[in-house]
Amino acid sequence: MGVQRAVKMALEAPHFLLEPIYTIGSLIHNPQVLEDLRKKGIQTLSEIPQKGHGTVLIRAHGVPPKVREELTMAGFQIADATCPKVIKVQTIIAYYAQKGHRVIIVGEAHHPEVIGLLGFAQNLGVVVSDLNELQKLPLFENAIVVAQTTQSRMEYDKIKKWLQKNVPYYIIFSTICASTKDRQKEVEKIMNQVDALIVVGGFNSGNTRRLVQIGQKSGKPTYHVETEIELNMKELFSFSRIGITTGASTPNWVIQRVIDKITQECK
């Protein structure tokens, strides 16, 4: 939902927003969509200039409050395409940081969503990627725990169980997007029904990589591709049943091309 909303806003932007139109960083983690946006004249800002004009779309992953302030100070108008699920986590963090709670974020430290979330923690935030890193942290007097919205459901469940047993006074929030949870559960389920799995999505997409990991954990051949061009048809011919899943930011037309190539060449 958040990805579709961001892309829709970007595609409609030239009709109602002040041009030129930019995104601050990649709008979503899908190179095919980003190329489509470039063709429509929507550019990517890698850094904020001292002075600028036009409109900047805040990416689906969100940004730290400081970035928003710098864009406004530079003279840009802002259109917010932050995923509503991410905004909810930002709001939780801002509320508890204001009360002096330490903020533990379970996720990838260099992921744009996590960087944005840290910006709401008022220097009280810390990022851990797994239970091992969490256990190395000192015990805080007051703390909340949230997850990157596209985090591994299994890893976060493991962390929640440990926290409930060892530091029951920490406040834990279930912030993984329902769509992400459902997709991960579905991949776990279909791995019992297929000989191999194809995961379609951006190579730099965290939620897509986690689907790949689930497939690999099953012990069955798992292929991560961005487009149909990367399909290894020679290997795929050796399987009788193939599962296909996609990352959250993979557009329908990319998925359909993958399906079409497999069905046409396997006839």
Distance (Å) of CA 39 to CA 29, 87, 100, 118, 203: 17, 29, 46, 33, 21
Give the C-alpha separation, 129 to 107, whole Å: 5
Q: Which listed residue (12, 113, 141, 186) is catalytic? A: 113
* Whether residue 188 lies in the annotated active site: no
Q: How do the pLDDT tens digits run along the chain, 267 residues long?
A: 777 787 777 777 777 778 888 888 777 777 777 787 888 888 888 889 899 898 998 988 899 999 999 999 999 999 888 989 999 999 999 999 999 999 999 999 999 999 999 999 999 999 999 999 999 999 999 999 999 998 988 899 999 999 999 999 999 999 998 888 888 999 999 999 999 999 999 888 888 988 999 999 999 999 999 989 999 998 999 999 999 999 877 878 888 999 999 988 876
Q: Quick one: pLDDT at residue 267?
A: 67
Domains and CATH numbers, the chain: 2-82 (3.40.50.11270), 85-176 (3.40.1010.20), 179-265 (3.40.1010.20)
Q: Quick one: pLDDT at residue 254?
A: 86
Is the whole model's pTM more than 0.85, yes or no? Answer: no
- Tokens representing residue 9 in the block: 């806003």
